């Protein structure tokens, strides 16, 4: 059987997003999804580190781009902090293993995780089975 079009949305729970982030990022901490934003809470130089990320879906990856960085109570320029901590000023790409023919087309932050949208066209349904 073939599907002309397929569109599926799924929730990636916050705990799973945190696990996926830890596998690819050089920056330690814990991922949360509060207030419609993906946030990192960690520690740097004995101070509380907070990073608010923008989220984007790119074909086979969830991309987290640092938008705001806080060290202690102060907002810090992302590029300056990047000089002190390699990787903090760069986007983090989290690969998503999808069956052939499917791609990520959307990602929206929810209070309990990240809702992703996967789409494909002209698909052999049997090939999508795990």
Confidence (pLDDT) at 25? 83
Confidence (pLDDT) at 12? 95
The token pair at 108 is 């929206």
User: Which residue in 53, 60, 45 sits closest to 102, CA to CA?
Assistant: 60
pTM for the full model? 0.83
DSSP class of residue 83 equals H
Q: Which residues contact 88 (CB under 8 A, 6 or more apart)?
A: 27, 51, 66, 69, 78, 81, 82
Confidence (pLDDT) at 130? 62
Mean pLDDT by runs of 10 across the 130 residues of the chain is 88 95 86 92 87 92 91 84 66 87 94 95 77
Confidence (pLDDT) at 100? 82
Confidence (pLDDT) at 119? 93
SS3 58: strand
Confidence (pLDDT) at 30? 95
Q: Give strand pairing partners of 95.
A: 61
């Amino acid at each position: 059987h073939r599907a002309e079009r397929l569109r599926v949305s799924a929730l990636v729970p916050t705990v799973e997003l945190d696990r996926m982030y830890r596998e690819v990022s050089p920056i330690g901490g814990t991922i949360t999804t509060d207030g419609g934003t993906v946030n990192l809470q960690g520690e740097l130089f004995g101070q509380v580190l907070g990073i608010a990320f923008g989220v984007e879906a790119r074909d086979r990856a969830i991309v987290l781009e640092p938008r705001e960085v806080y060290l202690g109570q102060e907002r810090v320029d992302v590029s300056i902090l990047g000089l002190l901590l390699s990787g903090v000023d760069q986007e983090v790409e989290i690969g998503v293993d999808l069956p052939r023919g499917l791609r990520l087309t959307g990602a929206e932050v929810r209070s309990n995780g990240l809702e992703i949208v996967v789409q494909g066209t002209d698909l052999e349904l049997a090939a999508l089975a795990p």
